[in-house]
Structure 1
Amino acid sequence: MAPYEPEQNTNEAEAPRAGRRKAARYAVPVAVAGVAAATIGLVPALATSGDPKLPDVTAQELIEKIAASDTEQLSGTVKISTDLGLPSLGGGMTGGFAPGGGGGEDGEGSSADPQSKLMELATGTHTLRVAADGPDKQKLSVLDDAAEYSLIHNGDDVWAYDSKSNEVYHSKSAGKAGESGKDSGKTDLPKDVPSTPKELAEEALKAVDDTTSVKVDGTAQVAGRDAYRLVIKPKQAGSTVGQITVSVDSKTGTPLKFTLSPAGGGSAVVDAGFTKVDFAKPSASTFDFTPPKGAKVTEADDAKAEQQKHGFKGDAKEFKGEEDLNGLNVIGKGWNSIAELELPGGQGLPTAESGDVPADAQRLLDSLGDKVSGKFGEGTVFKTRLINALITDDGKVYAGAVTKDALVKAANAAN
């Protein structure tokens, strides 16, 4: 991929034509820029010089090309790296998410259950093999050094296989759009773990006002394909997001690479891109799956019944977003949006002084956070390279993709 070029000949305009807003209705989600939605003002900009040489396009035209992309058949290899700057806890926090890393709630269930398995993509570096043939056939495999985890959707069936534990998880896929029936709209697949550049780009390009500059900034080659670089950058100060760069295939409009760079510099927070890609129709056998001999097979309905038997009611109510968070209030807008809510019981984190937390656990909490004070009282800011959260001693939480100072300022203003 060609190195980043300094901004030149971009000629940002502040008033996009109303008739070209169809592809601009996007919103930056929780997974990319914090709890509150950020917004993007889509402005025309000519591509700068780069390698390879491609015809000039505007940012609006490139986003419309992404939205109009009808790529349904492809196969390839994706490398995804995530670095939130969290400390290593010796596998205690992530062991259950790694291939072969453990079962469901309280040790029950299947280690192949995709609901938790794909959360491993939220940390570290992973190599994925992906394939798709329309809306009813997809396959994603997470490759480990000596094991593989595969998730296969083929028609009505969804199979997940963990080769390390030799366990299989089977469920029925969601009904097709507009299909009636008791199972329509239900699925056992995780909804909020984008795993390809296209999914990440779609999440990052969802809505619209003047808090962001968007421009085409040069070209690149990704997985042997000519691509434009679309750069999305906050105009507001105080965000932890530096910029988002999406490399878009010049022929198909398919995002080939997604990079989220932090405002503080250093390595990308999220970097996902194809290292190989082929837009030909995959072989039908790619999506075939038969449980290997001797594998433990868990049916989704049986797993849920077992969890409920042990008192886990996680599927009793589907989480629908902000409306399910009692007392949620969004402060500010755009990239500086901060979510404010209250912890149950109206009190802050338990402490060693109160006898609710072991001393070692208290030291760990202290190492992860910074003590702060202000008009709101006292509290602790827990930081990552992207999302920060202030928890006050009286049980209020302020969280967003913003700096520590922005959180303290928001807490002071709310009191």
Structure 2
Amino acid sequence: MAPNDSAETNGEATGTVVGRRKKARYIVPFAVAGVAAATIGLVPALAASGDPDLPDITAQELIEKIAASDQEQLSGTLKVSTDLGIPSLGGIASSFAPDAGGGDTSAAPESKLMDLASGTHTLRVAADGPDRQRLSILGEGSEYSLVHNGDDVWGYDSGSNEVYHATSDGAERPDGKHKAPKGVPATPKELAEEALAAADDTTSVTVDGTAQVAGRDAYQLLIKPKQSGSTIGSVRVAVDSETGVPLKFTLATSSGGKAAVDAGFTKVDFSKPDASSFSFTPPKGAKVTEADELKDGAGKDGAAGKAPEDLGALEDFKGLNVIGKGWNAVAEIDVPGGAGLPAQGSGTGDMPAQAQQFLDALGDKVTGDFGSGTVFRTRLVNALMTDDGKVYVGAVTQDTLVKAADAAE
């Protein structure tokens, strides 16, 4: 078994992997939380079945092994469990979607991948370099597949027999290959590197023994905050000892209990997937919606709407400021218009009843030197919206949010 060699990161421990991305360090919790959210699309969890005897390795060497991995071909089955302490988001998302017939489709990636934010799911994945990936979410009697092949992205919901189609913008990577369109899951290696690149002197990185995942020997990399006040307790990444590919990702909260994200391969194969894995032809009779229809809000009745990717646009938020550092970093955002959330029935852009109930279930009224506001809580990311229209958000506790808001006044 590998020893618990420590490499507490101080700017040297992660070498060039971290050094070349120092600009990300001030948002450690956001990077880790983002990795957790994205990882549920590709990298997931299986209970360890024995501790293999592997050669000793330091944390620095293991990080370099991940960075040096060039494995871009794989296929496998994943089990993903996510418990962020929030209800299922399927119904909530639909309350904000365009009206039926207005160009919306259940096959759009945004509506299906949102389901992975809660509960337990079984997925099948295949990847053959940056231009070909496939992800399928297996349901009871139905399946949703997201296929990226060159310039084309296809989403297919077998339950509704609906198809989503998008094409890339033709943007080129430095190596001449097309970029994967937004919304297509990245490789496990890229996700792990994002977390490691954000590590700084507020972070401890160690090798915490070995494990077996999907029948393969792996080292366990343990990432933990040195600070108190974060909702993140630790991030554990099981790294394949041969290829350097992350096989398992577990994010534990500082409050204990079930992991917030527990995602890992149950089966994995690093040989080249069959080319047919990435081919897709819309089934006969399927309703096909082009991405441009969603962007333009041009449905069959001409109803106006927004593309899903436009709903979260941040260009209207001014004065983004980061308070604190490391795992206790809190983002301060000025809400457009300088007003808090509209109450249901207020007549100022009334919120859908279901969304209002969702927010009420999460929210706690708080006061401080900043004034008063409401904290919306999950097990991982919390947000404080003040009554005068500012938002403070981070992977931090309620007390840390309030202190950040007080410090900003």
Category of TM-score, reference length = shorter chain:
0.7 to 0.9
SS of structure 1 residue aligned to 2:319: coil
1:116 is aligned to 2:111: yes
In the other structure, the counterpart of 1:43 is none
Q: Kindly indicate whether the alpha-carbon contact (under 8 Å) linking 1:197 and 1:257 is maintained by their aligned counterparts in 2.
A: no
In the other structure, the counterpart of 2:47 is none
1:399 is aligned to 2:398: no
In the other structure, the counterpart of 2:303 is 310
Question: Over aligned residue pairs, what C-alpha RMSD do you find?
Answer: 3.4
In the other structure, the counterpart of 2:42 is none
Equivalences for residues 261-410 of structure 1 within 5 A = 261-307=252-298, 310-314=303-307, 325-351=317-343, 365-410=359-404
Pairing partner for 2:183 from 162, 185, 190: 190
* Separation of aligned partners in 2, 1:372 and 1:307: 43
Q: 1:245 to 1:324 in 2, by over 3 A?
A: farther
1:219 is aligned to 2:203: no
- Cα shift at 1:303: 3.9
Cα deviations by residue, 1:12-35 (Å, 9 ceiling, x for unpaired): 556564893245545446363379
Q: 1:388 to 1:16 in 2, by over 3 A?
A: closer
- Cα shift at 1:151: 1.2
Cα deviations by residue, 1:291-317 (Å, 9 ceiling, x for unpaired): 212112223334434449533354897
In the other structure, the counterpart of 1:134 is 129
Q: 1:152 to 1:14 in 2, by over 3 A?
A: closer
- 1:166 maps to amino acid: N
Q: Tell me, which stretches of 5 or more residues in structure 2 are unaligned?
A: 36-49
TM-score scaled to structure 2, two decimals? 0.82
- Cα shift at 1:120: 1.9
In the other structure, the counterpart of 2:192 is 201
How many residues end up aligned between the 2 structures?
A: 383
In the other structure, the counterpart of 1:177 is 173
* Separation of aligned partners in 2, 1:167 and 1:358: 29
Q: Kindly indicate whether the alpha-carbon contact (under 8 Å) linking 2:6 and 2:207 is maintained by their aligned counterparts in 1.
A: no
1:143 is aligned to 2:138: yes
- 1:241 maps to amino acid: I
1:237 is aligned to 2:228: yes
* Separation of aligned partners in 1, 2:313 and 2:346: 35
In the other structure, the counterpart of 1:81 is 81
1:166 is aligned to 2:161: yes
In the other structure, the counterpart of 2:43 is none
Identity %: 64
* Separation of aligned partners in 2, 1:288 and 1:258: 29
TM-score scaled to structure 1, two decimals? 0.81
- Cα shift at 1:71: 0.6
User: Going by fraction, where is helix more abundant, 1 or 2?
Assistant: 2
- Cα shift at 1:402: 0.6
* Separation of aligned partners in 2, 1:16 and 1:34: 22
Q: 1:151 to 1:10 in 2, by over 3 A?
A: same
* Separation of aligned partners in 2, 1:179 and 1:56: 35
Equivalences for residues 14-33 of structure 1 within 5 A = 17=12, 20-22=15-17, 25=20, 27=24, 28=28, 30=30, 32-33=32-33
Q: 1:164 to 1:211 in 2, by over 3 A?
A: same
Cα deviations by residue, 1:288-347 (Å, 9 ceiling, x for unpaired): 2222121122233344344495333548979886x7631211101111000112222222
- Cα shift at 1:134: 1.9
SS of structure 2 residue aligned to 1:344: coil
* Separation of aligned partners in 2, 1:405 and 1:13: 27
Q: Tell me, which stretches of 5 or more residues in structure 1 are unaligned?
A: 36-49, 97-102
